[in-house]
Amino acid sequence: MPLSPAGALILGCENGHRVDVNKRGYVSLLPPRTRVVGDSAEMLAARARFFDTAAYRPIAEAVAQASAEAVARPGSRVAEIGCGTGYYLDAASAAVQAEDVLAADLSPAAVRTAVATVPGAVGVVLDVWQPLPLADASRDLLLSVFAPRNLPEFARVLDADGCLVAVVPTGNHLREARAAGLALDVPEGKADDLVRAAAPWFDDVSRTDVEFTMTLDDGALDLLLGMGPSAHHVLGAEGSSRPAAPRVVTASVTVLTLRRRT
């Protein structure tokens, strides 16, 4: 059932259900007894500090450009499912002059950070693999950056002609760190796999390959490895047993724009 304001910091539906809104600007709509967990506060802190170095700015700029090309009119409704710190959502929502911005993630720490980062954003804690607590055709643009994708649900919540902008790593992503045993493997062809998986609901509109090298000191490399899935792989290594860290690391991603089929 649709939720609407039912008092100060309360949402409710006509069946009498009530949900409290956190004073930080977000609400949790996880199903009862949900066992899955999102990124930890430590991973989010590493991600925010790494983004502050501007090393990933070319990816954020590509996301913003793809978003601006996908949404022709200002005042759009934008959401990022798997928002993390809100770094990409901030860039995209500014590029399209969004009026309705939603930051969604499984991690309460992520949603809390994104709501504080992105001007005017509201937040929701959710599980992407469950039916999304969003109305049909309620978004013009969805973002999914290095995040899981529930494609049939994404198509349902996008308006006619709405777009999904997704970022996936290529086989070259972090190749030097992977060669040193510091990061998890990245299979080849992830962009093509996504296009094939999305075919029942989306058309492949455009794709942009973004590849560049980053010169990182040990601190920046630790942040990069600590902010994503490789954190669980790398952080268990004890000082002297850790492989020698590369100074130059390649970032390589594909930015895909997929338009909802009508």
CA gap 186, 171 in Å, rounded:
5
Which of 126, 245, 225 lies closest to 184 in space, CA to CA?
225
Using a CB cutoff of 8 Å and minimum separation of 24, what contacts does 2-10 make?
Answer: 2/135, 3/133
**11 band by pLDDT with thresholds 50, 70 and 90:** very low
Using a CB cutoff of 8 Å and minimum separation of 24, what contacts does 95-103 make?
Answer: 95/64, 95/65, 95/67, 95/68, 96/67, 96/68, 96/71, 96/141, 98/141, 99/74, 99/75, 100/76, 102/77, 102/78, 102/134, 102/139, 103/26, 103/79
| Residue bearing the bigger pLDDT, 111 or 33 | 111
The full set of domains in the chain, from first to last, is 4-260 (3.40.50.150)
Q: How many residues does the chain have?
A: 262
CA gap 17, 36 in Å, rounded:
24
Judge whether 176 and 211 are in contact, CB under 8 Å.
no
CA gap 66, 223 in Å, rounded:
27
Q: Is the pLDDT of residue 55 over 70?
A: yes
Instruction: Report the C-alpha dihedral over residues 98, 99, 100, 105, rounded to 10 degrees.
Output: 40
CA gap 160, 261 in Å, rounded:
8
Instruction: Report the C-alpha dihedral over residues 114, 117, 122, 123, rounded to 10 degrees.
Output: 10
Give the amino acid at 92: A
**Strand locations in 97-247 (E):** 100-105, 122-125, 139-145, 158-169, 202-215
Interval 80-92: pLDDT, tens? 999 999 999 999 9
CA gap 178, 203 in Å, rounded:
33
pLDDT at position 147 is 94
Q: Is the pLDDT of residue 5 over 60?
A: no
CA gap 27, 136 in Å, rounded:
19
Mean local confidence (pLDDT), 203-229: 91
Q: Is the pLDDT of residue 197 over 60?
A: yes
Q: Is the pLDDT of residue 7 over 60?
A: no
Q: Is the pLDDT of residue 19 over 50?
A: no
Q: Which two tokens stand for residue 94?
A: 């500014």
- What percent of the chain shows pLDDT beyond 90? 65
Instruction: Label residue 95 exposed, middle or buried (CB < 10 Å: 0-12, 13-18, 19+).
Output: buried
Phi, psi of 136, rounded to the nearest 5 degrees: -55, 140
